[in-house]
Amino acid sequence: MALIKITLICCALIAAIECALLPAGVPVGVPLNTEVDPHPQYAFAYNVQDAITGDSKSQQEVRDGDVVKGSYSVVDADGSLRTVFYTADPINGFNAVVQRGPVPVAPRPLVAPVAGPLLG
């Protein structure tokens, strides 16, 4: 039992010393040497069409510096497609436009009739 108390006291002292060594105003657990990208850029997209569960959604987004543009779509419970187009930047803030409409039906491929053997 005494060994457990000594171990806990040592751990508490080590934690207190480590916290005392941190510069003032730095939250515990935040890396000290964090590099910041002055012009971040990325692009991503995904699309889910699950016929078994009925899950249908997609998103795409592009960031160039402080400007973000993108959209996401989801099929609502009533069967309509809801698409949100959004932009965000330091001047105009976040802006979104929502469109609702029917779910687009994928065109069926045209199949040409197969010619059979000539009877004659």
Q: How confident is the model at residue 55 (pLDDT cuts 50, 70, 90)?
A: confident
- The alpha helices in 1-120, defined as continuous H runs, are 2-21
CA 113 vs CA 37, 107, 116: distances in Å: 58, 18, 9
Domain that holds residue 84: 38-103
Q: Residue 23: what pLDDT?
A: 60
Beta bridge partners of 21: none
Q: What is the mean pLDDT of residues 85-97?
A: 96
- 24-49 tens-digit pLDDT: 655 666 666 678 889 999 999 999 98
For residue 51, tell me if it sits in a domain.
Answer: yes
87's CB contacts (< 8 A; 6+ apart) are 67, 68, 69, 94, 95
Q: Quote the percentage of the chain above a pLDDT of 70.
A: 58
Q: Residue 93: what pLDDT?
A: 96
Q: Give the chain's domain count.
A: 1
Q: Please state whether beta strands 80-89 and 56-64 pair in parallel, antiparallel, or not at all (unpaired).
A: unpaired
Q: Structure pTM? A: 0.57
Question: What does pLDDT average to over the chain?
Answer: 79
**For residue 63, which of 45, 46, 48 has the smallest C-alpha distance?**
45
For residue 84, tell me if it sits in a domain.
Answer: yes
For residue 2, tell me if it sits in a domain.
Answer: no
Q: Please state whether beta strands 56-64 and 67-75 pair in parallel, antiparallel, or not at all (unpaired).
A: antiparallel
Question: Is residue 95 pLDDT above 80, yes or no?
Answer: yes
Torsion of CA 35, 40, 41, 42, to 10 degrees: 60
For residue 23, tell me if it sits in a domain.
Answer: no
